[in-house]
């Protein structure tokens, strides 16, 4: 057992099933803040050739350029709602207030969204007039990782329960 494993073992908050593992967010996902864009370049409505522009709290508007293409959980990085999680699929632009979470083949994107939201990442924000999350801080958070098939079962069950709740 190396030093990293001993460090993680000392911090594990609860037991997980044997088929699960523990990892730090930064070892499981690649987190990258988006890029700055002038507010004057963001339109309130879509236009031919436009893509959604995601800020820290979801879609801010539409722009004529993209800096991402794929399926990503997006963590809000700035403001009172920092730590919230949205999902962006397809071609879009992510601003500097949005952290794109790149998942890999052993991760279900729907599960990643649900799990990141459940972590209440806002608790890791700086306590200033304008709360903010540092990617370096998020990367150190320890998370339990179920196998990919279990991730899908969790998502299916949760979404099924949400549909039942909405019916009520």
d(CA 120, CA 106): 23
* pLDDT beyond 80 at 168: yes
d(CA 34, CA 55): 9
- Beta-sheet pairing, 51-55 with 58-63: antiparallel
| Predicted pLDDT at 80 | 80
Q: Cα 150–68–33 angle (5° rounding)?
A: 85
How large a percentage of the chain has pLDDT more than 70?
94
d(CA 75, CA 49): 25
Q: What is the pLDDT of residues 32-80, one digit of tens each?
A: 999 999 999 999 999 999 999 999 889 999 999 999 999 999 999 988 8
- pLDDT confidence of 5, banded at 50, 70, 90? low
| Predicted pLDDT at 153 | 95
């Amino acid at each position: 057992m190396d030093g990293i494993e001993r460090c993680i073992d000392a911090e594990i908050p609860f037991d997980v099933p044997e088929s699960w593992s523990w990892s730090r967010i930064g070892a499981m996902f690649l987190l990258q803040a988006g890029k700055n864009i002038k507010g004057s370049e963001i339109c309130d409505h879509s236009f031919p050739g436009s893509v959604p522009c995601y800020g820290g709290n979801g879609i801010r508007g539409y722009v004529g350029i993209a800096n991402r293409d794929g399926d990503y959980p997006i963590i809000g990085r700035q403001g009172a709602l920092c730590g919230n999680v949205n999902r962006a699929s397809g071609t879009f632009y992510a601003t500097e207030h949005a952290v794109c979470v790149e998942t890999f083949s052993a991760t279900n994107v729907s599960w990643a969204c649900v799990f990141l939201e459940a972590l209440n990442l806002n608790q890791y924000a700086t306590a200033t007039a304008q709360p903010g999350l540092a990617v370096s801080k998020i990367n150190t958070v320890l998370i339990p990782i179920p196998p990919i098939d279990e991730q899908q079962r969790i998502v299916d069950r949760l979404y099924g329960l949400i549909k039942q709740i909405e019916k009520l």
